[in-house]
A = this chain, B = another copy of it.
Amino acid sequence: MNAADHKQIVTVDVVLLTLREGRLAVGLVARENPPFKAQMALIGGYVRSAEDDSAEATATRVLREKTGLEGFFLEQLATFSGPDRDPRGWSVSIAYLALTPWSRLGGPVSRDARLKVVPVEALPDLPFDHGQILAAALERLRGKGAYSTLPAGLIDEPFTLTELQKVYEVALGQPRLDKSSFRRKLTELNLVEPVGARRTDTGGRQAQLYRLKSGVGVFDRRI
């Protein structure tokens, strides 16, 4: 075993998903350096031993650097590796899924022209194996979204149940969930709790606002 055997490149890539104008969208940045300079890519960067306490810390840091924000929902996805996925050499990318309401990106985005939030149905060609990583993220959202409150990370709290249902429909790729079943499950499983306000700007009857009871809840039944 020679010296080169220990020189793998270690990076983190984050799939930052949000819901923009009713469509699932992903945050991409123009790459500043080669390879693939100026091409749109997932938010990512090298792990820095000196400042990062874990790969998750790297994810938090690169998100802060590219969006100016912190406090995203963040979950490890999977790790991609091999000699060919990066032209610089044998590389490891620890991939993360991040979720955010669009309202948080609406402001700061304008300050950093490099960050673009692109609908997943209108993606440019992505460098490295970022297409695969994004596919894994969407599959996780669909899969885990069916039995957890994961999709709630895509909108602001508080929300109305109708709003939340629309988020689930988009996240799961299901055109129409049943209103009655959806509400019963969320309330009976104690996943949401009402806040003392109602939404008044919708035209019809004023809707009760809710928030999640405790972070991301996972349950055994499907939504």
Verify A79–B82 contact, CB threshold 8 A.
Answer: no
Alpha-carbon distance between A214 and B4 when the two chains are bound, in angstroms: 40
Q: Which residues of B contact A2 (CB under 8 A)?
A: 50
Q: How many copies does the complex hold?
A: 2
Q: State which residues 1-22 of A face B: CB under 8 Å.
A: 1-2, 4-10
Given A2-B50, A79-B76, A79-B79, is A92 in contact with B9 using a C-beta cutoff of 8 Å?
A: no
Instruction: Give the contacting residue for A50; candidates B5, B50, B55, B79; CB below 8 A.
Output: B5
Nearest to A85 among chain B residues (CB) is: B54
A89, B49: Cβ atoms under 8 Å?
yes
Q: List 30 A-B contacts (CB under 8 A).
A: A1-B46, A4-B50, A5-B46, A5-B47, A5-B48, A5-B49, A5-B50, A6-B10, A6-B46, A6-B49, A8-B10, A8-B47, A8-B49, A10-B10, A10-B92, A47-B90, A47-B92, A49-B83, A49-B89, A54-B81, A54-B82, A55-B81, A55-B92, A76-B79, A79-B79, A79-B94, A81-B94, A92-B92, A92-B94, A220-B222
Instruction: Give A contacts to B, CB under 8 Å.
Output: 1-2, 4-10, 46-50, 53-55, 76, 78-79, 81-83, 89-90, 92, 94, 220, 222
